[in-house]
Copies of this chain bind each other. A is one copy, B any other.
Amino acid sequence: MSDHSPTSELDVTVPSVPAKTCKIRIGTNILTSLWAEIEAQFEHLAKFVVTDENLVSAGHLHDLLSSRDVPTFVISPPGETSKNIDTVTAIVEQMEKVYLGRDTVVVALGGGTVGDIAGFAAAIFKRGVPVVQIPTTTVAQADSAVGGKTGVDSSVSKNAFGAFWQPTAVYVDVATLKTLDDRQFRAGLVESVKHAVIADAGYFEFLDENLDAVLSRDCAVLEKLAYYNCQIKARVVEADPTEKNRRRMLNYGHTIGHAVESASGFELLHGEAVAIGMIAAGLIEIQLGLGDRARLSGIRNILERLHVPVSLPKGLDKERLIEIIKHDKKAINRWPKFVLIDKIANVYCQEGQWAVEVGQEVVEKVLDEL
């Protein structure tokens, strides 16, 4: 082995990457006038749209493009089954076939799945091109369109492939929610409840008072909801864009939620499973002396008004849930940490950590009660 002579070692200092701003705009029926704005913002870039069949049949793709001739990839079938690397490959090769290069912006029109797939395709096309997100579901508008998490599933697990790739702009048109089916609409609102519970007591009150207007899809109220959600998400992402610590708070209700979602064979929607996970978190808080039945009742009450499940579906095996929790992607030594609150809008932070240790026996007890 050679000694460490002056010519045997050197450093490459990759310079810092400057801060970047993502603009979010919220409105009602803004879709039809959006393209001109995108053209103006990305004047020198070619455009490529990624959407899915649901958006086409709901008329939203037509509202966005009108009669413009823009190369477009329509994901088919819509939903989780298409969230894989084959779809990303098809998108990238389609972009190449229409001679798109690095001077392209990808425009993602759709729900969380479209945003995840299109964002990831943008992140890896020719080493990365910008992406604009136009979320059209409650879950995407509240959560997934902001923050830059992108990815697709492997045959082994969810989001095995992914990148942090911040959108350059996010446009939220709450009028697109009018065409969303009722179950999707309600399940997606669970992420809004989660935001209120972890970050904003005023928002929790607003939700409680305006839930009927939300459920009747009153656009003025939905705009306020979107603003609350984006503001909370933005604050957390700004503090910790790549989820080293603080951003973990957004996983409230998600550890048991993901396990329940998976154990249900994805018969439960993500938001439905997270609702169960939030109740589980509340029960853990009671076990650990961080919460009480009254607070949990308040949260359960809102979730029940959304008609999402608040207890384990019959037939879900507890042993299997524990096994899945042990395989959680954030698990270290085969057991994950949990995000808990000690009051509404206050995540319990222990020794600077936003996710804390909870013994397996506590979780087992809670699952019995759930």
A residues apposed to B, CB below 8 Å: 1-2, 4, 7-30, 32-33, 85, 89, 92-93, 96-97, 99, 101-103, 120, 123-128, 146-149, 151, 154-157, 159-164, 166, 223-224, 227, 230-231, 233-234, 237-238, 241-242, 327, 329-332
**Which single residue of chain B is at the shortest CB-CB distance from A34?**
B1
Q: B163 touching A127 by the CB < 8 A rule? A: yes
Q: B101 touching A162 by the CB < 8 A rule? A: no
What's the least CB distance linking A280 to chain B, in Å?
22
Q: B126 touching A10 by the CB < 8 A rule? A: no
Instruction: Check A26/B9 contact, CB under 8 A, given A163-B163, A329-B101.
Output: yes
CA distance A361 to B223 in the complex (A): 58
Measured between beta carbons, the chain B residues less than 8 angstroms from A13 are 19-22, 238
Q: A22 touching B26 by the CB < 8 A rule? A: no
Instruction: Check A162/B127 contact, CB under 8 A, given A8-B25, A21-B11.
Output: yes
Give the secondary structure class of A's interface. Answer: mixed
Measured between beta carbons, the chain B residues less than 8 angstroms from A330 are 101-102
CA distance A101 to B330 in the complex (A): 7
Measured between beta carbons, the chain B residues less than 8 angstroms from A4 are 25
Which of B10, B125, B157 is in CB contact (< 8 Å) with A234?
B10
Q: B92 touching A160 by the CB < 8 A rule? A: yes
Q: A30 touching B2 by the CB < 8 A rule? A: yes
CA distance A23 to B12 in the complex (A): 6
Instruction: Check A162/B16 contact, CB under 8 A, given A101-B331, A154-B92.
Output: no
Measured between beta carbons, the chain B residues less than 8 angstroms from A16 are 16-19
**Which single residue of chain B is at the shortest CB-CB distance from A162?**
B127
CA distance A208 to B319 in the complex (A): 70
Q: A23 touching B1 by the CB < 8 A rule? A: no
Measured between beta carbons, the chain B residues less than 8 angstroms from A126 are 159-160, 162, 329
Q: A93 touching B30 by the CB < 8 A rule? A: no
Instruction: Check A148/B331 contact, CB under 8 A, given A1-B29, A24-B9, A97-B156.
Output: no
Measured between beta carbons, the chain B residues less than 8 angstroms from A21 are 11-14
Q: A11 touching B234 by the CB < 8 A rule? A: yes
What's the least CB distance linking A285 to chain B, in Å?
26
Measured between beta carbons, the chain B residues less than 8 angstroms from A166 are 12, 14
A-B contact pairs, 28 of them (CB 8 A): A1-B30, A1-B32, A2-B29, A2-B223, A7-B227, A8-B223, A8-B227, A9-B26, A10-B227, A11-B24, A12-B21, A12-B24, A13-B20, A13-B21, A13-B238, A14-B166, A15-B241, A16-B18, A89-B154, A89-B161, A92-B161, A93-B154, A93-B156, A96-B156, A125-B160, A126-B160, A128-B162, A163-B163
Measured between beta carbons, the chain B residues less than 8 angstroms from A128 are 162-164
Known contacts A15-B238, A124-B161; 10 additional CB pairs below 8 A are A1-B28, A12-B22, A12-B230, A12-B234, A12-B237, A15-B241, A101-B330, A102-B330, A124-B162, A127-B162
CA distance A332 to B147 in the complex (A): 32
Which of B127, B147, B230 is in CB contact (< 8 Å) with A151?
B127
What's the least CB distance linking A296 to chain B, in Å?
30
